[in-house]
Amino acid sequence: MAPEAIDDPPADLRTIPLPCSVDENVFARIYEENCGLLVSLAVRKFQVPTVDAEALAHEVFLSYLRHAGEVRDLHHWLIGAICNASRYYWRKHGRNVEQLDTDIAAERPDPRSRNVLFDLPDSIALDEVLERMPPRWAQILRLRYLDGYSIKEIAEQQGVTSKYMQKLVGKCLHRAQEIFNGMRARKDQ
Amino acid sequence: MTHSDDVEHLAECSACRQRFAANVVPFDPAARRGREREFTSVAGRLERERDESSDVVARYLRDTPTDEWSRLAEMPDLRNNAALEQMSEEVRRRLHRNPREALAIANLSASIAESLAPSQYPSVVLAQLRGTAWKDRSSTLRYLARYDEALEAAERGEEALAPFASLEHDRAVIRMVKGMILAQQEQFEDAHQILSECRRVFRELGETKRYIQAGMAEANMLYREGRYNDSSELLQDLLHDAISADDLEAQARIHNNLGHSASQLGDFASANIHFSEAVAKFTDLGFVAEVPRTAFGAGVLLIGKGQITAGLARLREARQEFTAAGMVDEAGLCALRIVETLIERGEDTAARQLTQDVIDEFTAAGLDARAITAISRLRDAIEVDDATAETVRTVHAFVRDIGTSTAT
């Protein structure tokens, strides 16, 4: 294989200056339009504490300045950057899991769901099911079926459309059923 | 919808972005305004520096003897972000043709970045400057095959960035270089892990070009490990990305590498298609040197795999292109590869004639007399039936080394 074809450091690792004279209003607008989104992503999707999330989002904006000339899609980049920053934040804080990656997070129960149904007659089974679910999914089921929130209310709280939330609740139920069936099969053996 | 799909959707849908951001986080308005002011003022400052410093680095480098470049670290007008960006660009330009100069500039850049006053920029920007400077040093040391030092420099860069969660983009750029170094040191497992992670980060940031570059480095590593199927599979995926991104150069390089993988897997029909695609795309791009180099690499590989006729055809095509591009020395080296094969096949008359052609071309171009003498001796040996393929290889290596030493 011609090593020169792929083994060189990428030719465009350089930082490309911004294409035109700076207009500080443009940057102010970028900040205003996206700050809330970035903080929300860090808080909602990764459960980063609000104060830290705001600091992370601010750092993402500052780091953007040296990449501005090479970023093709601002929203894509900002969202990717805050997601990566949130993951790094948790790595540094000793939680080496992707908070909402369903496969990985399923292995790590949400501590808040541990005793939520302690007093209910089916608490053990229900608790076990919720513990085996991704934290966000467990929370959605709790909100819907234990706290009595409507699909619309949960969708608003989670920042997604009602249609998507409806689909997500269906998925959560399906997953809960699978977990419950698996638990019952093990007990029967 | 998976988590990543969800995020992907947010990047594309402004209504969902607004909905997602609404009524979640109560901001402290004063703190937020303060941050916004800091952001816009840093943006303005970086841009003003860029405006005021146009080509300042090129001027200083031009007007200062190379062995005194390290002293430039004291120059006040080089001690800012814009000058450091220009230095990074100068390193990149020199990497292929003069890695020693590139290293001197990377050292200068690291020295400046490490000694900037903490108050000059926000700490996250300072960390980026230091990270980039160490990355440049690492890249150039890798080019000079000083792998341990290159690795050390990459790790210094990582250290500079470590306190900042938000610098995953910068971290991935440094770690991509680190991954390449580890691959060259044949630490394939670590390299694989790093390069895959870099690809994930670049993908998430929508950085298609770097995503492809990290992927190609990974595919190259798999190739070197002898995992030709895995390499080919990854390259096929990357080809789709390169086509979607309309990145013709990446497509050409991927086709070239797919050709090599296919040859190793014995699929010569597919190899020929990929090599032809690579040549066609390099031609479209006007990369006059890459066209014959691709054909040359393909020819050598095919002959090595026993595909003599196809291989010779590629070598002849390469020789013609080298000649057309005025690259007489490369055309001559290519001809010697053909001569080697002709002698192995017992076609001494053709071999002798081709050797004479090379002598004539080298003489007309005024190339190094030692090379011409060596090739003349080869011609004479062929004449008296005393030349073997090994003789040609020796002459080839000698002529190539003369070219290399003359070039530096």
pLDDT of residue B406: 46
Q: Which pLDDT tens digit goes with each residue over B228-241?
A: 999 999 999 999 99
Q: What is the pLDDT of residue A189?
A: 66
Same domain, A88 and A109: no
Q: To the nearest whole percent, how much of chain B has pLDDT over 90?
A: 71
Six-digit token pair at A158?
A: 């989670």
Report the pLDDT value the prediction gives residue A23, as an integer from 0 to 100.
Answer: 64
8 Å CB contact of B46 and A66: yes
Q: Are residues A42 and A109 in the same domain?
A: no
In contact, B349 and B376? CB cutoff 8 Å: no
Residue B151 burial (CB count, 10 A): 19
- Report the number of distinct structural domains present in chain A: 2
Show residues of chain B in contact with A42, CB under 8 Å. none
Decide if A27 and B39 are in contact by the 8 Å CB cutoff.
yes
A110 and A82 in a common domain: no
* Distance between CA atoms of residues B108 and B61, nearest Å: 11
Cβ contact (<8 Å) for B21 and A85?
A: no
Least confident range from A6-10, B51-55, B347-351: namely: A6-10
What pLDDT is stored for residue B156 in this prediction?
97
pLDDT tens per residue, range B4-62: 457 777 787 887 777 777 756 666 778 888 899 999 999 999 999 998 888 899 999 99
DSSP state of B67: G
Q: Residue A22: is its pLDDT beyond 80? A: no
Note whether B82 and B50 are within 8 A (CB): yes
Shared domain for A108 and A183, answered yes or no, is yes
Helices (H), B99-167: 99-115, 123-143, 147-161
Q: Is the dihedral of CA B113, B114, B118, B119 positive or negative?
A: negative
A174 located within any domain: yes
Domain boundary among A61, A92, A123: A92
The per-residue pLDDT of chain A, averaged, comes to 74
Spatial separation of the C-alpha atoms in residues A114 and B181, rounded to whole Å: 46
Q: Are residues A175 and A124 in the same domain?
A: yes
pLDDT of residue A122: 58
Query: CB distance B25–A53 less than 8 Å?
Result: yes
pLDDT for the residue A19:
41
In a domain, A166, yes or no: yes
Domain assignment present for residue A176? The answer is: yes
- pLDDT attached to residue A162: 80
Q: Are B33 and A54 in contact (CB under 8 A)?
A: no
At residue A119 the predicted structure's pLDDT band, cuts being 50, 70 and 90, is very low
- Subunit contact A72:B92, Cβ cutoff 8 A: no
Q: Do B10 and A62 touch (CB under 8 A)?
A: no
pLDDT beyond 60 at A112: no
pLDDT tens, position by position, A41-100? 888 888 888 889 999 999 999 999 999 888 888 999 999 999 999 999 988 886 544 444
Dihedral of CA atoms B122, B124, B127, B129 in degrees, nearest 10, equals: -70
pLDDT value at A116 more than 70: no
First-to-last CA distance in chain B?
57
Residue A2 lies in a domain: no
Same domain (yes/no): A87, A115: no
Quick one: A57 and A80 in the same domain?
yes
Confidence of residue B107 (pLDDT cuts 50, 70, 90): very high
The pLDDT value recorded for residue B175 is: 97
Asked if the C-beta of B62 comes within 8 angstroms of chain A's C-beta atoms, the answer is: no
Q: Do B36 and A28 touch (CB under 8 A)?
A: yes
Q: Assess whether pLDDT exceeds 70 at residue B243.
A: yes
Which pLDDT belongs to residue B404?
47
Q: Which residues of B touch A12 (CB under 8 A)?
A: 209-210
Whether A5 is in a domain gets the answer: no
> Please, are residues B261 and A1 in contact by the beta-carbon 8 Å criterion?
yes
The CATH number linked to A182 is 1.20.140.160
Place B408 in a pLDDT band, splitting at 50, 70 and 90.
very low
The answer to whether the Cβ–Cβ distance between B10 and A27 falls below 8 Å is: no
The residue of chain B with its CA nearest to that of A37 is: B21
What does the pLDDT read at residue B150? Answer: 96
All residues at 6 or more sequence positions from B15 whose CB lies less than 8 Å from its CB, including other chains: none
Q: Which of B6, B25, B166 sits opposite A40 (nearest CB)?
A: B25
**What pLDDT is recorded for position A1?**
43
Contacts of B170 in chain A (CB under 8 A): 63, 66
- Whether residue A129 sits in one domain with residue A80: no
- A131 lies in the same domain as A161: yes
| Residues 164-223, chain B, touching A (beta carbon < 8 A) | 164-170, 173, 176-177, 180, 184, 201, 204-210, 213, 216-217, 219-220, 223
Distance between CA atoms of B385 and B395, rounded to whole angstroms? Answer: 16
- What is the spatial distance between Cα B372 and Cα B364, in angstroms, rounded to a whole number? 11
Chain B from 297 to 326: CB within 8 A of any A CB? 297
Among residues A71, A92, A113, the one where a domain terminates is: A92
Which amino acid is residue B189, in one-letter code?
Answer: E
Q: What is the DSSP letter of B384?
A: T
Both tokens of residue B64? 């200062």
A27 vs B250, higher pLDDT: B250
Which pLDDT score, from 0 to 100, does residue A123 have?
Answer: 56
Task: State which of A31, A64, A92 marks the end of a domain.
Answer: A92
Q: How far apart are CA A55 and CA A39, in angstroms?
A: 9
Q: What's residue B211's pLDDT? A: 95
Give the separation between CA A135 and CA A142, rounded to whole angstroms. Answer: 11
Q: Please give the pLDDT value at position B251.
A: 95
**Residue-level pLDDT at A120:** 43
Mean pLDDT of chain B: 90
Q: What residue in B sits closest to A157 (Cα-Cα)?
A: B24
pLDDT band for B144, please (50, 70, 90 cuts): confident
CB contact under 8 A, A36 and B257: no
Q: Is the pLDDT of residue A139 over 80?
A: yes
Whether A22 is covered by a domain: the verdict is yes
Are A125 and A184 members of one domain? Answer: yes
In terms of domains, do A79 and A108 share one?
no
Give me the pLDDT at residue A11, please: 40
B368-to-B300, B357, B403 alpha-carbon distances in Å: 25, 16, 8
Q: Is residue A84 part of a domain?
A: yes
- Extract the tokens encoding B97: 């043709």
Rounded to two decimals, the pTM is: 0.73
In this structure, are A110 and A136 located in the same domain?
yes
Report the phi/psi class of residue B385: left, alpha or beta, with left for phi > 0 and alpha for psi in -120 to 50.
left
What tokens does B236 get?
């096929």
**What does each C-alpha distance from A124 to A113, A129, B244 come to in angstroms?**
12, 9, 51
Cα separation, B225 vs B213, whole angstroms: 18
Give the C-alpha separation, B205 to B194, whole Å. Answer: 17
Better-scored residue on pLDDT, B18 or B136: B136
Q: What is the mean pLDDT of residues B112-128?
A: 95
Given an 8 Å threshold on Cβ–Cβ distance, is A45 in contact with B85?
no
d(CA A173, CA B7): 22
* Neighboring chain B residues of A49 at a CB cutoff of 8 Å: none
Of B3, B166, B167, the CB nearest to A101: B3
Residue A118 has pLDDT above 80, yes or no: no
Distance CA A66, CA A54 (A): 20
Question: Does any domain span residue A175?
Answer: yes
Q: What is the pLDDT of residues B388-402, one digit of tens each?
A: 999 999 999 899 877
Q: Percentage of residues in chain A with pLDDT exceeding 70?
A: 69
Q: Label residue A105 by pLDDT band (50, 70, 90).
A: very low
Contact check, Cβ <8 Å, B24/A40: yes
Domain span at A77: 16-92
Per-residue pLDDT of B173-220, as tens digits, reads: 999 999 999 998 999 999 999 999 999 999 999 999 999 999 999 999
Lowest mean pLDDT among B11-25, B145-159, B167-181, B365-379: B11-25
User: Cα dihedral sign for B177, B180, B186, B189?
Assistant: positive
